[in-house]
A and B are shown apart, each in its own frame.
Chain A
Amino acid sequence: MKPRVLILAFIAVLAVAPLLLPAFEVTLLNYIGLYALVVLGLVLLTGVGGMTSFGQAAFVGLGAYTSAYLTTTAQLPGWLAWAGGSPWLALLLALVLTAVVALVLGALTLKLSGHYLPLGTIAWGISLYYLFGNLEGFGGQTGITDLPPITLFGLSLEKGEHVFYLIWAVLLAAVLITQNLLNSRQGRAIRALKGGQVMAESMGVNTFRAKLVIFVVAALFAALSGWLYAHTQRFVNPTPFGLNMGIDYLFMALIGGVGSVWGALLGAGVLTLLKQWLQDWLPLLMGSQGNYETIVFGLLIVLMMQRIPGGLWPLLVRYLPVAPVRRVPPAPADPLARRLPPTKGMLILEARQVTRRFGGLVANKEMDLAVHAGEILALIGPNGAGKSTLFNQLSGVDVPTSGEVLFLGQRINGVPSRQIAQCGMSRTFQHVKLLPAMSVLENVAIGAHLRASGSVLASFAHLERHEEARLLAEARQQLERVGLGGYLFEEAGSLALGQQRILEIARALCADPCLLLLDEPAAGLRHKEKQALAELLARLRDEGMAILLVEHDMDFVMNLADRITVMEFGQKIADGLPEAIQADPAVLQAYLGAE
């Protein structure tokens, strides 16, 4: 069965639900919808982007209070008077305000790694909560009452079963645009945030911008939910926007499963119903009133993180009769534009007197190196010679202490790797950096990130499908070129290590580079695979590509490379043609210890 059929069935059930269910159950469904909208943002943030926020409830409050203030205050300040009275105008302003606040908070905190981000969200979450309770005109702890209901096409959505349709329509639309976003070029960049930031940057992705995008989107979903909440309830007070609720939202996301947009709905549903049920039963059991359900929730989350950290949705999916859609991208009429290949023999990359110190340790000392178009330069040396350090400096991951790295005649010391990528350098990693849960095809498509320009907004509506088709076709073509054409839809993590290395080469090629940096591409490959790789690299060289490779397999290097540079203890000890290197006494000394 196709997923679409299942979703249509779900929508049909939703459409008739208010006609069949009693008012109380409809209200519960409304709440589930409102919560799920917030949790959807958290799925995007936490599950996809790897950032944890406890502050979403504050954004809900921002949406709710903005609208409450604008629609109920009799004497708005002059400059705001135009926005008074109408929930729809208030929504517009609430979204704008939330976007601004989220941009500021995001700009301040999203560069932080590890723990600072979640702790930061707790801090501003609390600040905003107390602000709601204390700001002039917000009614203190009692809040604001008598909000007007939302009117739509002249129909006033006063009753729960009417606003039900609005809430769920908004939610499903949000699910749709989130899924659209994730299945796009921008979405792949966002999905790379969790565990692939270094890789993504070297493919030209601005990871900070990607973080900011999902942070703002999540905040807007929350504000939208707050607006709906305020006009469904018809009153607001600070309580539902506190940190406790922020924690509840995160719990919903975790219970449902942060890996999937449908996990948001499941989590919101399960937690809301469970809470309802526990609030009915626990006080009877405990003999007094109180929020005892928090004990159950807390222990439940602990148990889940210990036993099923992926949440409930992945468990459920196993029992759903859906077959994934796998469409081999066809070759489009107009493939992606290629850059003009450099003329053969042109100097592409040059290192001049590069020195890198780590404290007292000199990892690279006055290294010189040059790679030309249509040439394969191999960088070899014993373990610990400083090859990887040099490699990192050449690719913009690390900055030399002194000396210069020139790429196409331009100095690139300290230039971020994504800008270097833009100029036409592409690389693979010694320790394979893939997104293991993503398909082979999509992993490779990340390489072509810079060759398209579809915006986030276009991705929401899937207006960039033509461009997307060109990207995927390019990825498929590169995969076929390296011999992985039969694995397009496998999970990248399921490939053998050697194949993963080849995948990285396909990804690098997808960027249409003029220089390829390969860090131990032949490691883990079988003999036949090595032969195929050597043929591929030779062909690329003949097309005019400049290739720099670090490699330990001497047969491979000697048969393939045009020139070889040998390093030991951070310094260059030899430089020249393969035959000359094989006979060089310093090299023999370094490798064999012979006199």
Chain B
Amino acid sequence: MNLQIALLLGQDGVTNGAIYALLALSILLVFTVTRILLIPQGEFVTYGALTMATIQAGEPTPLAWLLLALTVTECALDVLARYRAGRGLRVDRGMLGKLAWCAALVISVYHLPLASLPVAAQALLTLCLVVPLGPRLYRLFFQPIAGATPLVLLIVSIAVHVAMVGVGLLLFGPEGARTTPFSQAGLELGPVTLNSQTLWVLALSLVLIIALFLFFGRSLYGKALQATAVNRNGARLMGISPELAGKATFAMAAFIGCLSGILIAPITTLYFDSGFIISLKGFVGAIIGGLVSYPLAALGALAVGLVEAFSMFWASNYKEVIVFTLIIPFLLWRSLRSHHVEEDA
């Protein structure tokens, strides 16, 4: 291995690592607020990338219909819940807004000249389509069991992931997709040229990480979200709605996932089922961070990306084995530190 190869691998590693870091942060964010380990995080990535590809191909994406269907179900359940609580059959403004949003999206994907839109507009449309999936998923699948044990939440999370992979196949088909890069320029740096997509990934990841840090460290709403994680009832008594907190976090997770998908779609070919492995690597990062620390999780994820890139060079067949075995020493370390018997049923 010479310097040039090392730099190339490093570039690969850092790019993927930055994406894993984003996902690790998102996983951590969802976990700290809702106690849910968001396995479907990776599906937001593939949905984002594949929707972007569909749009660039100029085809109306059926994701709009999925969103509409989920939204109609959600509104129906909300109306029903309200009726059962004796508050009559009433549709409120929020519901109409959500439905109008979906209807507008359905119309846009059929009538806008999708292929000839500027990349930024395509990306924006993709985000508009994918991000609302987050809160819908929370409302339909997780909110009814929000008080359940972490294990039940994990199982539901896995089940949602399994269903979403199937839906992904239905929506996007079995073919992989790659999108056009945001721009063609590159940056000469010594013996290697950093390609522009790498720079986009790094810049946006950094911006997002700082934004998250500020949001949770400095803003009242960020602190309110964390309070729900510590004690749902306590937070509720303080006027924080756990439902709203859950939906908001899922929206953020969907946003981060979708954006990651849009960012890496020009670099890697993604398939409908690529999301799982990607989000699991985010999980490895999050676990290295002990499921509590944001900076450690980001660093861990970056390390995952680098280890992956370099093991590709030395032992490419064993890439995944190495990455996923990496987690064992960290688990061991945690297990050595915990002596007492814990009650966690």
| A122 at interface, CB cutoff 8 A | yes
CB distance from B136 to the nearest CB of A (A): 13
Cβ-defined partner of A127 (8 Å) among B164, B321, B343: B321
B145 and A291 contacting across the interface, CB-CB below 8 Å: no
| A120 at interface, CB cutoff 8 A | yes
| Bound: A300/B144 CA distance, A | 15
| Bound: A111/B170 CA distance, A | 41
Q: Which of B151-166 contact A (CB under 8 A)?
A: 151-152, 154-156, 158-166
Write out the residue numbers on chain A whose beta carbons fall within 8 Å of the beta carbon of B145.
Answer: 305-306
CB distance from B85 to the nearest CB of A (A): 18
Number of chain A residues close to chain B: CB under 8 A = 51
B320 and A305 contacting across the interface, CB-CB below 8 Å: no
Chain B interface, >50% SS class = helix
Interface residues of B (CB under 8 A from A): 31, 37, 141, 144-145, 148, 150-152, 154-156, 158-167, 169-170, 173-174, 276-277, 280, 283-284, 287, 291, 317-318, 320-321, 324-325, 327-328, 331-332, 334-335, 338, 341-345
Cβ-defined partner of B163 (8 Å) among A109, A286, A295: A295
Cβ-defined partner of A122 (8 Å) among B152, B164, B280: B280
Write out the residue numbers on chain A whose beta carbons fall within 8 Å of the beta carbon of B152.
Answer: 305, 309
Cβ-defined partner of B343 (8 Å) among A118, A195, A250, A295: A195
Cβ-defined partner of A292 (8 Å) among B170, B276, B284, B334: B170
Write out the residue numbers on chain B whose beta carbons fall within 8 Å of the beta carbon of A295.
Answer: 163, 166-167, 170
- The residue on B at minimum CB distance from A254 is B155
Contacts known (A115-B150, A306-B145, A309-B152); A124 close to B325, Cβ less than 8 A: yes
The winner among B141, B324, B332 for most chain A CB atoms within 10 A is B324
CB distance from B120 to the nearest CB of A (A): 33
| A415 at interface, CB cutoff 8 A | no
A119 and B283 contacting across the interface, CB-CB below 8 Å: yes
Write out the residue numbers on chain A whose beta carbons fall within 8 Å of the beta carbon of B169.
Answer: 290-292
B162 and A197 contacting across the interface, CB-CB below 8 Å: no
- The residue on A at minimum CB distance from B287 is A119
Write out the residue numbers on chain B whose beta carbons fall within 8 Å of the beta carbon of A20.
Answer: none
CB distance from B189 to the nearest CB of A (A): 34
Write out the residue numbers on chain B whose beta carbons fall within 8 Å of the beta carbon of A195.
Answer: 343, 345
B287 and A116 contacting across the interface, CB-CB below 8 Å: yes
Contacts known (A113-B342, A197-B341, A294-B165); A127 close to B154, Cβ less than 8 A: no
Write out the residue numbers on chain B whose beta carbons fall within 8 Å of the beta carbon of A50.
Answer: 151, 344-345
| Bound: A118/B291 CA distance, A | 14
Write out the residue numbers on chain A whose beta carbons fall within 8 Å of the beta carbon of B158.
Answer: 54, 247, 250, 301
A301 and B156 contacting across the interface, CB-CB below 8 Å: yes
| Bound: A251/B163 CA distance, A | 13
Contacts known (A52-B155, A130-B318, A134-B318); A201 close to B166, Cβ less than 8 A: no
B338 and A113 contacting across the interface, CB-CB below 8 Å: yes
Write out the residue numbers on chain B whose beta carbons fall within 8 Å of the beta carbon of A127.
Answer: 320-321, 324-325
| A108 at interface, CB cutoff 8 A | yes
Contacts known (A109-B335, A134-B317); A120 close to B327, Cβ less than 8 A: yes
CB distance from B193 to the nearest CB of A (A): 32
Write out the residue numbers on chain A whose beta carbons fall within 8 Å of the beta carbon of B318.
Answer: 130-131, 134
